[in-house]
Structure formats: C-alpha cells, structure tokens
C-alpha cells in the first residue's frame, strides 16, 4: 500500500500567492489519484493570476477561506491507502478492459482510465489507472472546445497506458466519446487545430 503525507497548516499562516503556489507544487500526484482534490486548488491559483497579485500579497478572503478548507480536507487523504496491485491476487483473469471517460466545464477538463478485470470465478474488480486534469485557458472558449480538449487529453493518456501495459485488453469508450476519440486519433489536421 502507498500512503500520502500532507503538510501541516499553522494557525498563524496567512495565505499569500507564494504560499498557495508552494502547496500546489508540493501536491505531486503523477498518476492522478487525487485529481478531484487538486483541481480545485489549481483553479484557485488561476483565479489568483487573474487578480494580478504580487507573490507576497495576502489573497482575498473568499480565496483564503476556500484554500484553508481545501488544506484541512487534504489531511483526509492520509487515511486513504492506495493499492499497488491492479488485480485480485491469486485469481485467474479471464478478460481485461480499459474503461475511459473525459469531461469538461468552463473551469477545467479531465480524463480518467480504469482497468476492469473479469475473473474466471465471475468476480469483477475495477481500479483507477490514470487520471489527469487541466485548467482551461484564461482567454476563454466554448464548452465544446474544452470537451474536445478533454478527448485529446484522454487519447494521450490511453496511448501512454497502452505503451506501458504488458497485457492485452479491450477498450471501452462510451457513445459520443468513442466517435470523438476516433476522430481525434485519426485526424492529424484536427489535432493541429486543437494545439
């Protein structure tokens, strides 16, 4: 099992842009297990950049309270062990599938990949393999544009997972996402348009 340690917040800590950036940088999550927690503070950092504050300026109260709330909840992650093994040990695997999803909002877009295993005794296990989030650009665009960027992010993630996997699997992509994914993967011109 893998456990997480979180920094302790002092009672007299005054949140500044520098302090928030430091906490974001210390929350390193390469496989994306904690993206539901980290994306909120990334969006918060983007809001700070929009305010054009200097590094040691105190942040506005609404941002400070959101950050303190996030920081207090971050300690809950220390009680969540992460299994290092994707399957149930000792069981014969009949079929492996990669299930993937992407979504977007006006603040961020994300992709997630799960490994779904079906065993010979008909038991099933599903494990998070990889998740990623991106904050949307400050200049703004449409939700459809962000959805397409989410699919593009997902295609990169699936390519990465497929390269490192040492097993054969089926891919599961729901409805519209499957069509968008195939469009993105098969069209270099379309990819260049998104970049």
- Fold that domain 93-194 belongs to in CATH: Ubiquitin-like (UB roll) (3.10.20)
Burial of 77 (0-12, 13-18, 19+ CB in 10 A): middle
Contact 17, 54 (CB under 8 A): yes
Of the candidates 125, 144, 145, 111, the residue with the CA atom closest to the CA atom of residue 35: 111
In tens digits, what is the pLDDT along the chain, a chain of 195 residues?
Answer: 555 555 555 545 678 888 888 877 777 777 888 888 888 888 988 988 889 989 998 899 998 888 888 887 777 776 667 777 777 888 888 888 888 888 899 999 999 998 888 999 999 988 888 999 999 988 877 887 888 888 889 888 888 887 777 666 666 555 555 556 565 555 555 555 555
Residue that is written with structure tokens 């993967």 in the block: 185
Contact 117, 147 (CB under 8 A): no
pTM, entire model: 0.77
Which segments of the chain does DSSP mark as H helices, in order? 17-26, 35-51, 61-74, 143-164, 175-186, 188-194
Ranges of each domain in the chain? 17-79, 93-194
Beta carbons within 8 Å of 85's beta carbon, 6+ residues apart: none
Task: Reduce the DSSP state of residue 30 to 3 states and report it.
Answer: coil
Residue that is written with structure tokens 């069209």 in the block: 187
């Amino acid at each position: 099992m893998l456990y997480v340690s979180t920094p302790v917040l002092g009672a007299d800590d005054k949140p500044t842009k520098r302090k928030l950036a430091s906490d974001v940088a210390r929350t390193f999550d390469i496989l994306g297990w904690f993206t539901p927690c980290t994306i909120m503070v990334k969006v918060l950092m983007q809001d700070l950049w929009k305010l054009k504050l200097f590094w040691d300026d105190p942040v506005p109260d609404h941002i400070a309270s959101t950050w303190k709330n996030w920081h207090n909840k971050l300690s809950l992650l220390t009680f969540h062990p992460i299994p290092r093994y994707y399957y149930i040990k000792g069981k014969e695997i009949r079929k492996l599938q990669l299930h993937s999803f992407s979504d977007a909002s006006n603040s961020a877009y994300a992709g997630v990949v799960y490994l779904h295993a079906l065993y010979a005794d008909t038991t099933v296990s599903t494990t998070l393999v990889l998740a990623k989030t991106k904050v949307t650009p400050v200049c703004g665009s449409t939700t459809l544009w962000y959805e397409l960027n989410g699919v593009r992010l997902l295609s990169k993630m699936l390519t990465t997972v497929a390269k490192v996997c040492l097993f054969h699997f089926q891919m599961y992509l729901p409805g519209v996402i499957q069509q968008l994914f195939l469009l993105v993967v098969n069209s270099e011109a379309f990819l260049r348009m998104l970049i």
